Amino acid sequence: MDSRPTRPSNRVSPASALVAKNAAAKPKQDAAIYKKVIRDIGLKVTQQRLTILEQILGGRKHVTAQEVFELVVERSPEIGFATVYRFLRTLSDHGYVSEVRMRGLPARYEWKSKEHHDHITCVECGKIAEFESEQIEKLQIEVAEKLGFKLTDHILELYGTCSQCRIRIPRDPDLL
């Protein structure tokens, strides 16, 4: 049975924060930081893992394992999809990346470089927007306490139709 947590942690790992802090670092500094991340999670530093980290940190924010694989395999054809997927899961399990699962779509991964935030996804084009709302955070805590829970984590998934798709696909008058 899978013992991984079903939700990403809201905590930012020290090495994750270090990578975020040094986002504009020189390539040699980046390599040293990437190696630290790999060692911190108890893995051997390999060129494959370094290449995967470079793609996660140097590309789009919300990527699927397939998208990371396609980017990585261009540079290193010997890397298999299973290697990419396992490493992403390990990074997620150790709090370096957030795994966002949205409505049955493939999981998307993003580097955990800042405090907790939520997402809204366009159901037409898949665009993902990030947002923070202190009101929502407080309300979630209040609801949990009212029901006798101490909130330890949460995922808020919002779905809708983005402004570009509402203009492009005016099917339902309620969407306009």
Residues 41 and 85 in one domain: yes
| Partners of 131 in beta bridges | 118
Residue 2 lies in a domain: no
Contact 89, 104 (CB under 8 A): no
At 151, which CATH number? 3.30.1490.190
Residues 86 and 145 in one domain: no
Residue 9 lies in a domain: no
Residue 4 CA to residue 91 CA, distance in Å, equals: 12
pLDDT in tens, the chain (176 residues): 343 333 334 444 444 444 444 444 434 457 888 899 999 999 999 999 999 998 888 767 788 899 999 999 998 999 999 999 999 999 988 888 888 776 667 888 888 766 677 888 888 887 888 788 889 889 999 999 999 999 887 778 788 889 988 888 766 556 55
pLDDT, position 45: 94
Residues 97 and 165 in one domain: no
pLDDT, position 10: 46
pLDDT, position 114: 61
Residue 64 CA to residue 105 CA, distance in Å, equals: 10
pLDDT, position 9: 44
Residues 81 and 156 in one domain: no
Residues 23 and 94 in one domain: yes
Domain boundary among 111, 133, 159: 111
Task: Give the tokens for residue 55.
Answer: 């793609």
What DSSP letter does each residue of 92-123 carry, written as one string? HHTTSEEEE--TTSPPEEEE--SS--EEEEET
pLDDT, position 86: 94
Contact 68, 97 (CB under 8 A): no
Residues 138 and 154 in one domain: yes
pLDDT, position 39: 94
Distance, C-alpha 176 to centroid of its chain: 30
Task: Give the tokens for residue 147.
Answer: 């029901």
Helices (H) and strands (E) in the chain, counts: 7, 6
pLDDT, position 173: 59
Residue 4 lies in a domain: no
Range of the domain at 164: 118-175
Q: What is the pLDDT of residues 12-60, one digit of tens each?
A: 444 444 444 444 443 445 788 889 999 999 999 999 999 999 888 876 7
Residues 131 and 82 in one domain: no
Rg from Cα positions in the chain? 18
Domain boundary among 58, 81, 111: 111
Domain boundary among 67, 86, 111: 111
Please name the amino acid found at residue 142: E
